[in-house]
A and B are shown apart, each in its own frame.
Chain A
Amino acid sequence: MDSLEKINADFATLFRDGRTLLDKGCGAVINGCREEAFRKFVDLGGIPFKKEEYSYLNLLPLFSRDYNVVLKYIRQEVDMNETFRCAVTNLQTNPVLTVNGWWFDENIEPEIPEEVVICSLREASVKYPDLLARHYNHYASAARNDGLVALNTAFAQDGIFVYVPDDVVMERPLQIINLLRANTGLMAFQRNLIILGKNARASVLVCDHTLSEQEFLVNNTTEVYLGPRARMEYYQVQNQHLGASQINSLFVSEHRNSVFESNLVTLYGGTIRNNMYVAMNEEGGECHLYGMYILDKNQIVDNFSYIDHIAPHCISNEHFKGVMDDASLANFSGCIRVRPDAQKTEAYQANNNLLLTDTARVNTKPQLVIDADDVKCSHGATVGQLDEEAMFYLRSRGIGLEEARMMMMFGFAHDIIQRVKLEPLRVEIDNLIDKRLRGELSKCHHCVMKCKK
């Protein structure tokens, strides 16, 4: 395994040598942030190692593999039929593709209200420099201690840009399909920016897939701005092969009476780290984060959330559930921060885990940091097994052991999935979960999954 120093030095070399390529084609706003971000990365000690936020996740093995880093767009053949795999029955979406973190140049023109902009981030940085200057990298700074977010800012070149102006409703959900395809191991950086003006509404569905069996490491940062009374639903389905690792950081900046709802479903993948930072900047904000992770083999999922109640009268609600099989590892770390004067805050957080084997592990760290007194905050965490009495009930009615277990696990997961507001999507995810629990998902995607035991 490479040492931390070597990994950090490699990044420094890459940053120095690749600077011209990095800057090429990107607007001044993106390029203007690089230098400072990289300095921050260095100041933070580079890749997080033995840091409190990453206490249960060792990133060194992940970063020690050999990856190519692509600093310019290389066209990949993508069969558009692949996207049908992500199609949701009875749900019309506007699909846009990214390949290895880059906007795919054959994306079909989405059917959207004409005021709405959906394009590549590079393009936006040249076309709408003012808009970017007002938002780009403003919210990611909430991750004060995370070198990986700084690294993303230093290296980001492309991703998705969405702008829904004031009072515009985007009826049809936007479906972002992130594909990975390469001939050798690949490290990719992706940067997304989603801006919803006041009263705007949108729902976004994100699917992550791998198309080739190489090892991938994606560092993906998404910033979301919600203007007053804006509403956004954000669904993410992570389904990649075991050699693909992801570091996702989501930053949401909420304003007066805005609502953010997120549902994160992790079905498959190597090492997945999800960072979620939500800042409740003005009164009346609401945020709901739900998550479901189903792990087996030697998968690792590490969910980290930080909900910052800056203004009074906001509500946040967080519920993550997971099922761990084989030698998998699940970490959950959630922090509710209530600043002084953020009175009348209501914040709830829960994390429930089912452990199926003795080789699987769970670490959970639900935290409350509260500096205002008139608040209602609670959190809970459990680790346990399927309820024996419920099992007995099912079996005494003639349901076999396996089937009873499936039903119970499905019910456990459905608790989260039922929060999905788009009905066709809910049905689809339920199906995926059912397949996943039966172990069929890896079978039917056999061609690309190459699950390594």
Chain B
Amino acid sequence: MAKEQENIIQEVTGSEYKYGFVTNVETETIGKGLNEEVIRMISAKKEEPEWLLEFRLNAYRHWLTMKMPRWAKLDIPEIDYQDIVYYAAPKQKESKQWEDVDPELKATFDKLGIPLSEQMALSGIAVDAVMDSVSVKTTFKDTLAERGVIFCSFSEAVRNHPDLVRKYLGSVVPYRDNYFAALNSAVFSDGSFVYIPKGVRCPMELSTYFRINARNTGQFERTLIVAEDDAYVSYLEGCTAPQRDENQLHAAIVEIVVEKNAEVKYSTVQNWYPGDKEGKGGIYNFVTKRGICRGENAKLIWAQVETGSAITWKYPSTILKGDGSVSEFYSVAVTNNYQQADTGTKMIHIGNNTRSRIVSKGISAGYSSNSYRGKVKVVKTCRNARNYSQCDSLLLGDKCGAHTFPYLEIENSTAQVEHEATTSKIGEDQIFYCNQRGISTEDAVGLIIKGYAGDVLNKMPMEFAVEAQKLLQISLEGSVG
């Protein structure tokens, strides 16, 4: 069986990244480098109001005073921030008609399986497609508008709903928050804006698809989701990038505001180009995602499948401010070859009777390093907080690492906080059991991983769960340590 296992591992490391193509489309870029001029230029290109430029400049000035964080268990090579293009946009005509979209772009998103054309309404998901720095197309806008739901690109929101953007921008992740948040606040280009008015249940799933295409660019998108009282929305995010030898930086911010009795579900399938077998190339994915449950009984659910990126640095977190608010975090993080991931969550309990649940499943293979880092904090005035965290790691291969760094900070005696974690490999007895029943080793491993990640995949919207399942199979099919 040892021989067989070796073959299977070979297969895993051999699996190819299938979204690695480059779209041949004319791109408008600005020169490399970062300074106030560049920021003014980005702002001018997007015809932004004065206050937003001011926001960007403040963030930039603050960023200059900060140092790159080194606390994560990641080996991040020095990044030359002057060697990055901060704005790249596929050239296209002003018209918003589907027919006018560059056929190359259409083809790209078709190839990625993203339903941009509204004829493909069957899928029933509204999509905002972002390539490099700008939003290419947002579907189903009219249908959504009927219900009062705003779903558009961030630039459009700045133009059409400046008051809303101004009210919420930076309210959850201020630009002073961390190094990458400051960088993003200074140079963010586009992203999605979602506003669900009071009492509205968003009739379809909303989705944003991020694609890096241009060479030497960084992608800095910004997503802002606001769910007013009693609203509900399920939002999905997916990402891919071409296969290149150099590393590209992706530093995004996601802010979510959940008001009284509202519910937001935020799902991510992150599949940025992870680099080749030798660890060359790949995306640096340094993302700040945070939500706040502002009102009573608000609910925020994070579900993520992380399979891509050379380096991932990401901690979707929730501030549970409203009494009785609930947050859940489900994550499957897969690392292979020389990938590194340091990911987890933060749950800050402030309101009384708040509950949170963390389920994190790490799978590491090859020479990769996969860390869970999470914080659960219960402040002094928060009564009856409840948290349960479970962080399991699965090791496939003897050269990879799996690490767990939970931080529990409890200041109130009524809190009940539990954390447990295990690290193991797939047991030979488990494989043997399956073999005995006529299931091949490869299928058995598939089954076991499916079962292992099942808790998380079940929480994903159906369409995504299927994609996520496929992704898992591609990256890990049949690997046994």
Which residues of A pack against B, CB within 8 Å?
A: 52, 56, 340-341, 343, 353, 355-385
Contacts and interface: CB of A to CB of B under 8 A. Distances in A.
B412 interface: yes
B399 interface: yes
A372 B398 contact: yes
Nearest to A364: B408
B448 to A, nearest CB: 14
B402 A370 contact: yes
B401 A381 contact: no
A365 B420 CA distance: 11
B408 A381 contact: yes
A383 B408 contact: yes
Given A380-B418, A383-B416, A370 B406 contact: no
A228 to B, nearest CB: 26
Contacts of B73: 369
A365 B405 contact: yes
Interface stretch (B100-108, B274-282, B421-429): B421-429
B42 interface: no
A368 B421 contact: yes
A108 to B, nearest CB: 47
A381 B403 contact: no
A369 B481 contact: no
B320 interface: no
B406 A377 contact: no
Interface of B: 71, 73, 380, 393, 395-425, 481
Contacts of A52: 71
A370 B401 contact: yes
B413 A385 contact: yes
Nearest to A372: B398
Interface of A is mostly: strand
Nearest to B372: A368
Contact of B413 (A360, A367, A379, A382): A360
A340 B407 contact: no
A355 B411 CA distance: 9
A376 B398 contact: no
B481 to A, nearest CB: 4
B75 to A, nearest CB: 14
B407 A365 contact: yes
Contact of B421 (A371, A375, A379): A379
A182 to B, nearest CB: 35
B151 to A, nearest CB: 41
Given A382-B417, A383-B417, A374 B425 contact: yes
Nearest to B423: A377
A381 B424 CA distance: 19
Q: Which 4 A-B pairs have the closest CB atoms?
A: A373-B395, A355-B413, A373-B481, A380-B420
A366 B372 CA distance: 12
Nearest to A325: B413
B395 A381 contact: no
Contacts of B419: 364, 366, 379-382
Contacts of A341: 398
Given A368-B404, A378-B422, A355 B412 contact: yes
Nearest to B412: A358
B403 to A, nearest CB: 5
